[in-house]
Amino acid sequence: MAITGMGVITPAGETLDAFYANVHRGLGLAGPVTRFDADGLPTRIACEVHGFDPTDYLPLKDVRRLDPFARFAVAAALRAVEDAGAPRGDPYRRGVVCGTALGGHHTIAEQALACASKGPLRVSGFLAPMGMDNSPAAAISARLGWLGPSLTVNTACAAGATAIGEAVRWIRSGDCDTVLAGGTDAGVNRLVMAAFSRLRALSRRNDEPERASRPFDKARDGYVMGEGAAFLVLERLDVAAWWGARVYAEIAGYGHTSDAYHPTAPLPDGTQAARCMRLALADAGLDPSDIGHVNAHGTGTRLNDAMEATALTAVFGQAPPPVTAPKGVLGHLMGAAGAAEAVVAALSARDGLVPPVANHEDGDPEHPLDIVTVAPRRVRPGAAVLSNSFGFGGHNAGLVIAPHRLEVAEP
């Protein structure tokens, strides 16, 4: 499946060039929260999107009727379509799949306060459509006039990767020729951060925020909340070749499984995460030896990183390929994480260059991995990338992203 366009709205930038450069710089982008007054929260740091103006992408009337997570999504989706060069073809065969973990929490929290303090008649009539998870997919479809299937998926922090995988299935099944797939979330708000702080999921390094997100580091103490969106334009390879599209890379395989274990904790032995990776490899028709590096979920929480390392060893043996984890730079974009990391993986597959993990100073001796640190690392040309995403509730999704094959038959 050809990736012909990509768009991002992230703490690392709103353009692919800025995003790619910041990820490869390998420096954490977390800082003190500026979006709201964080006093009283155990965690007062986040990876925020700075300088984003939704009116650059939408009329003010539409902006007012969308929650921040939907504004991020529409902007990233429009950037992806522009990057693809306006895909050709039948609008009835173009679809949209959007992943989210949190949905319209910002609007829901805001309107709940209005209801409690001012009464139910002061609740916005737009609360329902603004708070619903499906609002970004609906807004994107309407904005573009794409009349094919439009779907929202919520597999927690695996949602962005799940959306891309399901989009691949739509194209393979013949339902669509082109699908815009990705994820979005706006988790930097007081209610969401209070909730995840209470779970002790967030790092509490408030005095050194840029060093707080530490995937696979021995001293990791939780993730840093991020926000933003990322979308990819996926097209049938023959269709993309027919109209002369630029192809970044290909989605070669997709796997997904369930831990069926716990509302928040991953299955410690990693068996279902490992099975997810094997399914993605089998779907791509590849062996573990064909993988040049792993783009890990790597949240920087003690349990998730330990589980993922265990699963990687199960799949690849005692010497897994090099591992990167973009959350050290970006923080955790929640439902957008898997999509933003798929963008990283696609560019890495194209260039054969693996970005370093920010803040990785001391490996975990109980779970040794070959973590890429300090500077980008070259890997063998033509190697595929395995990109992992795991979500609360035991949702696991894996994507195999490979360099573009030039030999394509006519449609």
User: Distance from first CA to last CA of the chain, Å, rounded?
Assistant: 14
Cβ atoms of 42 and 202 closer than 8 Å: yes
Query: Residue 50's CB: how many other CB atoms inside 10 A?
Result: 12
Q: What confidence tens digit (pLDDT) does each residue in 229-256 have?
A: 999 999 999 888 888 899 999 999 999 9
CA torsion 336→338→342→344, rounded to 10°?
70
Q: Catalogue the active-site residues.
A: 157, 297, 332
The residues near 145 (Cβ < 8 Å, ≥ 6 apart) are 91
The residues near 299 (Cβ < 8 Å, ≥ 6 apart) are 157, 215, 222, 223, 305, 327, 332
What's the pTM?
0.96
Rounded CA-CA distance 386/401 in Å is 6
Cβ atoms of 61 and 47 closer than 8 Å: no
Q: What confidence tens digit (pLDDT) does each residue in 186-234 have?
A: 999 999 999 999 999 999 999 999 999 999 999 999 999 999 999 999 9
Rounded CA-CA distance 186/75 in Å is 13
Helices (H) and strands (E) in the chain, counts: 13, 14
The residues near 323 (Cβ < 8 Å, ≥ 6 apart) are 216, 293, 294, 296, 298, 312, 357, 369, 370, 371, 372
Report whether CATH 1.10.10.10 matches the domain 2-402: no
Query: Residue 116's CB: how many other CB atoms inside 10 A?
Result: 9
Tokens 């002061």, residue? 122
Rounded CA-CA distance 247/351 in Å is 13
Rounded CA-CA distance 159/167 in Å is 12
CA torsion 210→211→216→222, rounded to 10°?
-80
Confidence of residue 308 (pLDDT cuts 50, 70, 90): very high
Residue 410 has pLDDT above 60, yes or no: no
Tell me, what's the pLDDT at 408? 44
3-state SS class at 84: helix
Query: Residue 118's CB: how many other CB atoms inside 10 A?
Result: 10
Q: Where do the domains of the chain lie?
A: 2-402
Q: Transcribe 299-366 into DSSP letters.
A: -S-HHHHHHHHHHHHHHHTTSPPPEE-THHHH-B-GGGHHHHHHHHHHHHHHHTEEPPPTT--SB-TT
Cβ atoms of 305 and 364 closer than 8 Å: yes
Rounded CA-CA distance 8/184 in Å is 10
Residue 283 has pLDDT above 60, yes or no: yes
Cα angle for residues 175, 176, 181 (degrees, 5° grid): 120
Q: What confidence tens digit (pLDDT) does each residue in 46-95 have?
A: 999 999 999 999 999 999 999 999 999 999 999 999 999 977 789 999 99
Q: What letter does residue 226 receive in the DSSP assignment?
A: B
Cβ atoms of 38 and 108 closer than 8 Å: no
Query: Per-residue pLDDT averaged across 311-336, rounded?
Result: 97
Tell me, what's the pLDDT at 406? 58
φ and ψ at residue 94, rounded to 5 degrees: -115, 130
Rounded CA-CA distance 172/1 in Å is 8
